[in-house]
Amino acid sequence: MDEIEQMVRQVCAEALGRDDVGPTDDLVDAGLDSSLTIEVITRLQMQYGVDVLDEFFVEPTVAHLARAIQERSLPSTEG
């Protein structure tokens, strides 16, 4: 598990109040309601400077959010 995924997992685990969140578990099914979702997304935005709320609606998992943050954090190779 890389550093970003570990951080996403930690943030989600704290919001959910449980530490058994797997990388591919559905976070909504795990109990992440709309308030907790915004709390998680806001904390990740503060940590990494990117908003991944839209990606949460694509796939609400730790692994997907971590990938999205990683992709958006990469420096642009264009121009």
Partner 1 sequence: MYLSSTSYTHGERRLIRDLGEAGCDDPRLKDDRLEAYRETTASALAMATEVGARTVAAAGVSPDFVVYATESTDAEDALVRSARLADGLGCPGSVVMSVAGHGCGNLGLLLHVADGLLGTSRAASVLLITSDRVVSRPRIMADGLSVLSDGAAATLASREAPPGGSPGFLVHGLAMSCDWNADPGGDPISAQKRSVRLGRSAAAALRSASGHGPREFTRAIFSNYRYGSQRFLAGAAGFAPAQLLTGPTDEYAHCFAADLLVNCDLLATAGAFALGDRLALSATGPHTWAMVDLEVVALPNAGGEGEEVPAGPTTSDPTT
> What ranges in the chain are assigned the alpha helix state H?
3-16, 34-48, 53-58, 62-73
| Secondary structure letter of residue 23 according to DSSP | T
Which lies closer to partner 1 via its Cβ, residue 37 or residue 61? 37
| CA–CA separation, 51 and 22 (whole Å) | 22
Question: CB of residue 7 vs partner 1: minimum separation in angstroms?
Answer: 16
Residues that bind partner 1 (CB under 8 A): 28-29, 31-35, 37-39, 42, 45-46, 51, 53-54, 56-57
Rank residues 1 and 18 by Cβ distance to partner 1 and give the closer one. 18
